[in-house]
Amino acid sequence: MGSPRLRVAIVGGGIGGMTTANALARRGVDVTVFEQAPQLGEIGAGVLMTPNSVRLLERMDMGPALAAVGARIGKGSQYYRMDGTPVAPILTTDSAGWNGMYGMHRADLLAVLANGLPEDVVRTGHRCVGFEQDAGAARLTFDNGESAEADVVIAADGIHSVLQHHVVPPASPVHSGSVAYRGLILRSRVPFWASGISQLWMGEGKHFLVYPVRSGELINYVGFVPSDEQTTESWSAPGDPAALAAAFAGWDDRIGRLLAEVEQTFWWGLYDREPLDSWTNGRLALLGDAAHPMLPHLGQGANQAMEDAVAVAVLLSEADRDSASQALADYERLRLGRVAEVQRGARANGQRYDSAYDDLDQRDAEISGSVTFRSWLYDHDIEAEAGKLVAAR
Q: Active-site residues: which are they?
A: 211
Phi, psi of 19, deg, nearest 5: -65, -40
DSSP lists the bridge partners of residue 239 as 265
| Residue closest to 228 by CA, chosen among 178, 268, 182 | 178
| E strand map for 75-205 | 78-81, 86-89, 102-105, 122-123, 128-133, 138-142, 147-150, 152-155, 174-186, 199-203
Cβ partners under 8 Å of residue 189, min gap 6: 261
| Residue closest to 376 by CA, chosen among 344, 346, 338 | 338
What interhelical angle do 371-379 and 360-369 show, nearest 10? 30
| Residue closest to 375 by CA, chosen among 50, 125, 141 | 50
Please tell me the distance from the alpha carbon of residue 85 to that of residue 203, in angstroms, as a whole number: 11
| Residue closest to 110 by CA, chosen among 55, 36, 64, 41 | 41
Please tell me the distance from the alpha carbon of residue 373 to that of residue 4, in angstroms, as a whole number: 43
| E strand map for 283-385 | 284-286
Please tell me the distance from the alpha carbon of residue 361 to that of residue 275, in angstroms, as a whole number: 31
Q: Is the dihedral of CA 10, 277, 344, 207 positive or negative?
A: positive
Cβ atoms 253, 240 nearer than 8 A: no
What burial letters (b/e) apply to 207-221, b meaning 16+ CB within 10 Å?
Answer: bbbbbbbbbeebbbb
